[in-house]
Chains A and B, each alone.
Chain A
Amino acid sequence: MMKGFILQCFFFVWMVLASCVSRAQQVADTRELPSGPVQESVLEKDSILIGDQIWWDMTLPAGIWNGRQIEIPVFSPLPYKLTEQVEALSGVLLDSVIRKKHLESIRARILLTSFDSGSYQLPPVPLCLVGQDGTRDTIWFKGPLLTVNTIPVDTTSFEPYGLKPQMRYPITKGEILTLAGIVVLLAALVFLVNMIIRRRRNHLPLFGPGRPKDPPHIAALKVLEDIRTRELWKKQKAKPYYTLLTDTIRVYLRDRWRIQAMEKTSTQMMAALHQMESEDPLLTDKIIGELGEMLSKGDLAKFAKYTPSDSENEESVRQAIRFVTETAPDEEEKEEKIR
């Protein structure tokens, strides 16, 4: 009996507490409206999904407005929290509503959003009407109830999605042009450096056309004349003297007839010249023989420690000069070739 009474008491207390909990979940208009005229306001929709935006419309009839200046509340900074969960994304935007060419009312709108599900009582919003005589009249708009729903998750048929690949943004024209510009700039830089190195190596000025290269016979004669006038055989030993002499002739043969003389021995050079004899009338047995004599003497001096006399050395340079002058192409022939 006693046990039954205790159970009944416990049930009664539990019922009372349970009703308190359920009442606490309901949103109550806890804000009391201040004194003054009150107007109703409406939301575009009764409920929205989380993150959706909704317009809150407040209508001020033309009769009440009566041409007075309207002062609106300032929401700053945006987004402005109207309540803990509801944010205003815009300030109060005023607009006139005209029907049949007559001003019917003034509409004030606020764009709202919320990122929490639940039902929220919006706070009252005042609009102050200032008359021409300075009288102020505040009209309050009652806040409606905004229900924010969350997206229902179906846990029974839930299938996880795979990871999304990294988003690839398309390359823009600007990016392409920048890259192309860099490449062109680098290529130009490489070309410039290469040109500078080559010009320096060839002893040419950095800008402008270089000095034209001397024809083979002029170049050879310059060196040979220098050897002759400075009488190098008297200043140097036979070996370096003949090395210079034969190398000058080799360069001349290479540039004049394209004979690979630098890589040929004296005998091979003679053989190559005899081969050219039929093609070039300037090459005669006599002049080739004379050059052969000079080259043989050079070989002896270079490889056999032979020390020719001064007269022999002088004769060698004369033989070399004779060979070059007699085989140099004359101007007429050169002009014909150009033609």
Chain B
Amino acid sequence: METVNIKELNERIQRESAFVDIMTLEMSKVIVGQKQLVENLLIGLLANGHILLEGVPGLAKTLAIRTLASVVDAKFSRIQFTPDLLPADLLGTLIYSQRTEEFHVKKGPLFANFILADEINRSPAKVQSALLEAMQERQITIGEHTFPLPEPFLVLATQNPIEQEGTYPLPEAQVDRFMLKVIVDYPKKEEEKLIIRMNNSGEFPTAAQVLKPADIRKAREVVREVYMDEKIERYIVDLVYATRKPEDYHLPDLKSLIAYGASPRASISLAIASKAYAFIRRRGYVIPEDVRAVAYEVLRHRIGLTYEAEAENIITENIITSIINAVEVP
């Protein structure tokens, strides 16, 4: 039987998670408000999961990711996805050297720790596939050579909910590879006033580098050790299962609204994201609150809606809320 010393684990987490506050503090110097966005970036970083950010232009999506990269001493690449982008523009290619009379590998921008795939839905499927394959395999093959990607490797893709003309929406199978989908909302009034002041002052604050990639790797190990009770596992399975068979959870009305439910990858993501959330909250064990806190980000892009739901202006968040309110908490 597995033995876990929670007290010891809690103490370890208290030590290892000290950087969370410092990191959040540094990021808040540059990013005003958007606490949820920063928290989800941290969850993605700790849970080793890629993040899809969705929000209208100008909500500091790119700035947040750039700041995260600057806080960690890591290599950062920004790729602006356009319709004429090619897979080789991301992965790299073989270049013939006349001097050595040999082909040399020219690595693409994906060989970095933090990748900002800006407006990912503006590139055709072949480019999206190249990126998503690298995300999944965490390695890239150019010619005859396979290169592992550096650790940590985190892809943060953005997409715009408006201006859908000339875009290539990500297929469901590829969206599923993002651990979290974060909806970035407008800042509050007070926060926006502060943003104006910061921009008018002429001196834009910068975040200090406070972390090394090794710290992230170490923190990830601790996150994996966070204790998850069997009751919590069952709760996660219930939540995910309710997206597939809502009628089994006294939600027969949802049956006609859901075209397909969340995949087992959702359960895995929900579990690891809950652990990361518990780590951020300095806890060595997961409680139902942790699962509920990350449920929207993990499930919203994994539930397919029917035409009926779309006609009734029902969004996946409504479905998740209904499920959370119907599934019994352990």
Contacts and interface: CB of A to CB of B under 8 A. Distances in A.
B210 interface: no
Contact of B229 (A260, A265, A302): A302
B326 A263 contact: yes
A303 B231 contact: yes
Contacts of A303: 227, 229, 231-232, 285-288, 330
Contacts of A243: 231, 330
B6 to A, nearest CB: 5
Nearest to A299: B287
Interface of B: 4, 6, 227, 229, 231-232, 283-289, 292, 324-330
Interface string A252-269: 000000001011111110
Interface of A: 239, 243, 260, 262-268, 299, 302-306
A265 B289 contact: yes
B287 A265 contact: yes
B285 A305 contact: yes
B288 A265 contact: yes
A76 B330 CA distance: 94
Contacts of A266: 287, 289
A263 B285 contact: no
Contacts of A268: 289
Given A303-B285, A303-B286, A303-B287, A265 B292 contact: yes
A262 B328 contact: yes
Contacts of A304: 6, 227, 229, 283-285, 287
Nearest to A262: B328
A304 B327 CA distance: 21
Contacts of A267: 289
A247 to B, nearest CB: 9
B53 to A, nearest CB: 27
A264 B329 contact: yes
Given A263-B326, A304-B284, A305-B227, 4 more contacts: A265-B287, A265-B289, A304-B227, A305-B229
B325 A260 contact: yes
Contact of A306 (B6, B232, B292, B330): B6
A263 B232 contact: no
Contacts of B227: 303-305
Nearest to B289: A265
Contacts of B329: 262-265
A236 B79 CA distance: 58
A239 B284 CA distance: 17
A208 to B, nearest CB: 31
A263 B325 contact: yes
Nearest to A261: B329
16 contacts: A239-B231, A260-B325, A263-B325, A264-B329, A265-B287, A265-B292, A265-B329, A266-B287, A266-B289, A268-B289, A303-B227, A303-B231, A303-B285, A303-B286, A303-B287, A305-B4
Contact of A305 (B6, B325, B327, B328): B6
A263 B4 CA distance: 28
A262 B327 CA distance: 8
A243 B234 CA distance: 14
B120 to A, nearest CB: 35
A188 to B, nearest CB: 28
B104 to A, nearest CB: 54
A239 B285 CA distance: 14
Contacts of A264: 329
B328 A263 contact: yes
Contacts of A263: 324-329
A265 B6 CA distance: 21
A141 B330 CA distance: 111
B260 to A, nearest CB: 24
- Pick the most buried of A243, A302, A303: most chain B CB atoms within 10 A of its CB: A303
A306 B232 CA distance: 15
Nearest to B283: A304
Contacts of B285: 303-305
Nearest to B228: A303
A151 to B, nearest CB: 68
- Pick the most buried of B289, B324, B327: most chain A CB atoms within 10 A of its CB: B289
Contacts of A265: 287-289, 292, 329
- Pick the most buried of B292, B327, B328: most chain A CB atoms within 10 A of its CB: B328
Contacts of B289: 265-268
B212 to A, nearest CB: 31
- Pick the most buried of A260, A266, A267, A304: most chain B CB atoms within 10 A of its CB: A304
